[in-house]
């Protein structure tokens, strides 16, 4: 049986009209156990703020840009948990940094280790 291979996580997105000045989760389902890589693509005309706990801003993503968040990319997950998923970051929240955009989407993509 094949072990320790990677697969994409289910892509999530929020339309510009669904994003407000308050933190809103971009993924309805929690991140899968073993998530080790995330990409957040802001395909709108305004910057956004990312939160891992829904209270404090942790990342700033410019308009029409993508950020990557990686953890444990140089080893196998000994305890079968990822630093991204194991803590409080099983939901990723976003809000507008300044003004709301009228069109576009914000996407959450990534990879998980299957063991």
Cα-based angle 98, 99, 104 (whole degrees, multiple of 5): 115
Look at 25-39, 73-87, 100-114 and tell me which has the smallest mean pLDDT: 73-87
Range of the domain at 32: 5-114
Q: How far apart are CA 53 and CA 17, in angstroms?
A: 22
Q: How far apart are CA 16 and CA 27, in angstroms?
A: 15
Q: How far apart are CA 80 and CA 66, in angstroms?
A: 27
Look at 25-29, 58-62, 73-77 and tell me which has the smallest mean pLDDT: 73-77
Confidence of residue 72 (pLDDT cuts 50, 70, 90): low
Contact residues for 34 (Cβ-Cβ < 8 A; gap 6+): 77, 80, 81, 82, 85, 112, 113, 114, 115
Structure tokens belonging to residue 78: 């000994």
- What pTM does this model have? 0.84
CB 43 within 8 A of CB 107: yes
Across the chain, what does the average pLDDT equal?
A: 84
In the 8-state DSSP scheme, what is residue 86? H
Structure tokens belonging to residue 70: 């990686």
Q: Where are the beta strands (DSSP E) in the chain?
A: 5-8, 12-15, 24-25, 35-44, 48-51, 59-61, 65-70, 93-96, 104-114
Q: Domain holding 63: CATH number? A: 2.60.120
- Tell me the percentage of the chain whose pLDDT exceeds 90: 52
At 2-58, the pLDDT tens digits run 667 788 989 999 999 999 999 999 998 888 777 888 999 999 999 999 998 889 999
In the chain, how many domains are there? Answer: 1
Quote the pLDDT of residue 113.
77
């Amino acid at each position: 049986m094949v072990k320790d291979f990677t697969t994409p996580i289910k892509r999530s997105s929020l339309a510009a009209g669904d994003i407000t000045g308050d933190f809103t989760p971009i993924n309805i389902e929690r991140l899968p156990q073993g998530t080790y890589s995330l990409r957040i693509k802001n395909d709108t005309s305004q910057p956004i703020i990312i939160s891992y706990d829904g209270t404090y801003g942790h990342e700033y993503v410019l308009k029409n840009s993508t950020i990557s968040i990686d953890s444990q990319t140089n080893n196998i997950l000994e305890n079968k948990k990822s630093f991204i998923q194991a803590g409080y970051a099983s939901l990723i929240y976003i809000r507008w940094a300044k003004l709301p955009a009228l069109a576009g989407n914000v996407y959450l993509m990534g990879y998980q280790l299957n063991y």
